[in-house]
Structure 1
Amino acid sequence: MVSRRGFLKSGGLALLGVGLLGGIPGFLAEAAASEKILSPYKKKKTLVCIFQRGAMDGLMAVTPFTDDYLKAARPNLFMSAAKSGTNNPLIDLDGRFGLHPAMKAFEPMFREKRLGIVHGIGSPNNTRSHFDAQDYMESGTPFNKGTSSGWLNRAVGLLGHDALTPFTAVSMTSAMPRSFYGDNPSVAISNLQDFAIQMRGNPAGANIAAKSFEDLYDQTASGLLKQTGKESFEAMKMLQKTDIKNYTPANGAVYPSSALGNSLKQIAQLIKMDVGLEVAFAESNGWDTHFNQGTENGIFARNVADLSNSIMALWTDLGTYQDDVTIMTMTEFGRTVHQNGTGGTDHGRASCNFILGNDVSGGLVYGDVKPLAVENLEDGRDLTVTTDFRSVFSSVADKHLAINNDHILFPDWKGDRVNVMKG
């Protein structure tokens, strides 16, 4: 006999899939009845995390525009909130910080106090290596490279119930992100239409795409099935029942035709399918702006427009599901206060992040950003990290997903949370 927990955890087996095996076991039927799971799973709270890989310039995304030191340090990159001439000014948020004009989609959410911004956020580890900084942030252990699991995978393990669905944790990426490494069930899906399985430690299963569950099973029957776990196969079977290709976003939502826009559109589909999605992950690339960063136009402006427009398309599309969803961005570090000689910025320290949701205590720019005089800069060159990323991530996970175990979620961290959430 296989234990109830062992059976569920080994594959996160879907109820529909169990039916294929000759009937729903009694313990699953009992669980379904006790939780009143619908269609076929009970609707859950969902945390959507977006990693901005490459290190976003937080000082350009949300600019302390009254700071004369920043103006002097960035003669070609500084942007003003003053409305003059033909220039597109910053969006004045509070008299001190201005939102980049390409992120105008965010302004209504900030005014409605559903969007919160944390400035001066980063890692206590001062590495300026993209690889190491991303690894530390995704593992949630900034001074331990040996951590085998990611913080989002540990969050899945703290959700307080058995995983009855293969869609509890989904990354819309071609490879499993570091955030999802670990023992708890998770799935990486590059595209819902051709569900590619990419499990950590299983290179033989990489980029396998099949038109049907049977085809996939035939390709993997020689031992690979045991390695990948049944959750991936049951996920494909469930997706086959949905017309993914002809999905029409609700409420007039228009997603950008970008990788991020496509990922968030698919996350919206999974949320509205009520398949039990609780943690979703997506990536936004191209934030390493060493050259020709631009101001109201250019590389950075295109990136922030794509980020904000994609997030707002998801938010609009969700409609009545908005109460159940919180969206949070993250980036490995920020950029230097001074511009460089090629019209860009180099690897820095602190940046900012965005948290959107109806349970967010928004309309505020949180954090401690001192005047950017040299004596206030980290190593005399960077915005100082005054908010440990774990103090924000733990606050969001606790309040939205009802997780309250920082010892497991972020080992070795004993700091205070930043209260960006209501309650």
Structure 2
Amino acid sequence: MRITRRGFVKGGALALVGTSTIPSFLTRSVMAEVTTASANKKKLVVLFQRGAADGLNIVVPYREKNYYTMRPSLAIKPEQILDLDGFFGLHPSMASFKPLYEQGHLAIVHATGSPDMTRSHFDAQDFMESGTPGLKATADGWLNRALQEEKLREESPFRAVALGGQVPRTLQGKLPAIAISNLQDFSVGGRGPNPSPMSNAFQQMYADSVDAVLHGTGQETFEAVRMLKSADPAHYTPANGAAYPNTPFGNSMKQIAQLLKANLGVEAAFADIGDWDTHQNQGNVNGRLANRLKEFSDSIAAFWKDMGDDTENITLVTMSEFGRTARQNGTGGTDHGHGNVMFVLGGNVKGGKVYGRWPGLENEQLNEGRDLAVTTDFRRVLGEAAYKTLGAKDLKLVFPNANVQSQQFLNFL
């Protein structure tokens, strides 16, 4: 296998996956100590529901008569709803979210989405992650730009981290970011008498290279390995009896908790969860969507419980590329729609409330006669989270051409 220098570097970041990608010579690497973020540093966690989640069955407008007319077999009955405010209610699979809402930690923003009307998963995800709907030429992600305003004298290599096999579009950009599939594998690899070919190749390239990009990224990588190894992730036990679902997303949330607790200087963390594209056999109180919602909400609730008092410094926000049609289709599912719902969780969140202007579900109120209309641009939600959590005051940098201003915030923080 031919490995190039540039093959290790993508979007200003190095994605490390598995022990075989990290050479044995790293054990001999000695770096100066990097000062981590202070204990009271605010942290932003961004979660992406890939596939277009059905916001109308996640936070149900159960007082809308047309909701039941349009979804004769998919609608959640009023007596099955976890009531929130007499108009909206949670899907019953999201019981673990109800206490967070009642305690004032969880806010909901309904009828959110992009001003771009695409129904393409790829384009919509790209536009949301770049933060520039309709513009495909944007080179970096909104969260990377949000972190660029504050230039630290001594930056942690873990300042921006993603759980997964590669750095997501959201975090690509000038500021280095790291992708991790598994914390226990993010360690010194290539041990033993037969180190992997990739380890040898990386070691030789680093030793021989005059490439400044490779040298810079390599140094950040070595420091990241040393710091995470000292945090001993293999022996982590969740606090306060938190029980994460034994699923990829549950594991991602547990590992984000590990990273935040290890005081490695994390300011922004990203994870995603797929399989929200419910064209067929979506189900109502049971079924495919219900199972996904239980995993989603239980994982986030376990993270909240695990973080304990540290939740005062955390803001968590969820997003999906678009919602689904108001009417069910002929195969027991819903098709690509428009407006959707976002959750915001945090110690400083003014929760226990559904934010945003509700557009209604009467036929004449639907977008293009088929979807929940968007009344809150998703960038207003992300902008407020970045502004008040990360201190990203230059919203023109974070969301160019969006005209997101602090006086337009919903003030859920």
Give the TM-score normalised by structure 2.
0.86
In the alignment, does 2:94 pair up with 1:98?
Answer: no
The answer as to 2:72 corresponding to 1:81 is: no
- CA offset at residue 228 of structure 1? 3.7
Q: Please report how far the alpha carbon of residue 310 of structure 1 lies from its aligned counterpart in structure 2 after TM superposition.
A: 0.5
Distance 1:161 1:228 in 2: 17
Which of 60, 63, 67 is the matching residue for 2:64?
Answer: 67
CA distance in 1, matches of 2:385, 2:228: 29
Could you say which residue in structure 2 is the equivalent of 1:379?
A: 368
1:115 maps to what in 2? 106
Q: How far off is 1:296 after superposition?
A: 1.0
Number of the residue aligned with 1:42: 38
Q: How does 1:11-410 map to 2 (within 5 A)?
A: 21=30, 41-43=37-39, 44-82=41-79, 89-195=80-186, 210=190, 218=203, 220-221=205-206, 222-223=208-209, 225-226=214-215, 228-410=217-399
Cα deviation 1:270-289 (Å, max 9, x = unaligned): 11110110000001110000
* RMSD, aligned α-carbons: 2.5
CA drift of 1:11 comes to 9.4
Tell whether the 8 Å contact from 2:43 to 2:266 is kept in structure 1 after alignment: yes
Structure 2: any 5+ residue segments left out of the alignment?
Answer: 1-11, 15-25
Q: How many residues matched?
A: 378
Contact 1:92/1:98 (<8 A) preserved? yes
Question: For residues 271 and 23 of structure 1, do their structure 2 counterparts lie closer, same or farther at Cα, with a shift above 3 Å needed?
Answer: closer
- Supply the distance in 1 between the matched residues of 2:13 and 2:29 (Cα, whole angstroms): 15
Please give the per-residue CA displacement for 1:369-397, whole angstroms capped at 9, x wherever unaligned: 22211111111100011110001100111
Distance 2:115 2:224 in 1: 38
Confirm or deny: 8 A CA contact 2:379 2:399 kept in the other structure. Answer: yes
When residues 286 and 313 of structure 1 are mapped into structure 2, their CA distance, relative to the original with a 3 A threshold, is same
Unaligned runs of 5+ in 1: 1-9, 29-36, 83-88, 197-207
Provide the secondary structure at the position in 1 that maps to 2:233: coil
2:235 aligned counterpart, secondary structure: coil
Tell me the SS of whatever aligns to 2:344.
Answer: strand
- 1:354, distance to aligned residue in structure 2 (A): 0.4
Structure 2 Cα separation of the partners of residues 22 and 395 of structure 1 = 37
* Regions of 4+ moved over 4 Å: 19-24, 208-217
**Cα distance change of structure 1 residues 295 and 240 upon mapping to structure 2, 3 Å threshold:** same
* Closer/same/farther in 2, CA of residues 119 and 163 from structure 1, 3 Å limit: farther
Identity %: 46
Within 1, Cα distance between the matches of 2:371 and 2:75? 16
* TM-score w.r.t. length of structure 1: 0.84
Q: Mean alpha-carbon deviation: is it higher for 61-70 or for 235-244?
A: 235-244
